[in-house]
C-alpha cells in the first residue's frame, strides 16, 4: 500500500472516530466508544512502532479490535434506529 493511500485512510479513520466520539446524541453506547478509544490507541501504537519487534502483534491486535468495533457499532446502530423509529411513531 502506498504512503498516500495510508494517509487517506488515517485521515478518514480519525475523522470518523472524532465524529462518533463527539456526538451530542451518541449513536454508540459507552462500551463501544471505549472500544473505539482502545482501537485508536492500538492504531497509534502500530503507526509509531515502525521498526519495533512488537509491531506485528500490534497489527494483529488492531485488526481484532477493528472487527469487534465494527460488529459492536452495527449492533448499536440497529438499536439506535429502533429507538428513533419508536420515538417518531
pLDDT in tens, 35-74: 988 988 998 898 888 899 998 999 999 999 989 999 998 9
Cell numbers describing residue 45: 501504537
The count of C-alpha atoms lying within 13 angstroms of the C-alpha of 72, restricted to the half-sphere facing its C-beta, is 17
Confidence bin at 6 (pLDDT 50/70/90): low
Q: What is the extent of the structural domain holding 72?
A: 3-88
Dist. CA 58–CA 44, nearest whole Å: 10
8 CB burial (10 A radius; 0-12, 13-18, 19+):
exposed
Structural domains counted in the chain: 1
Amino acid at each position: 500500500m502506498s504512503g498516500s493511500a495510508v494517509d487517506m485512510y488515517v485521515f478518514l479513520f480519525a475523522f470518523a472516530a472524532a465524529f462518533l466520539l463527539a456526538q451530542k446524541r451518541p449513536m454508540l453506547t459507552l462500551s463501544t466508544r471505549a472500544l473505539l478509544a482502545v482501537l485508536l490507541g492500538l492504531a497509534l501504537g502500530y503507526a509509531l512502532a515502525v521498526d519495533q519487534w512488537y509491531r506485528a502483534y500490534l497489527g494483529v491486535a488492531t485488526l481484532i479490535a477493528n472487527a469487534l468495533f465494527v460488529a459492536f457499532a452495527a449492533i448499536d446502530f440497529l438499536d439506535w434506529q429502533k429507538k428513533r423509529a419508536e420515538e417518531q411513531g
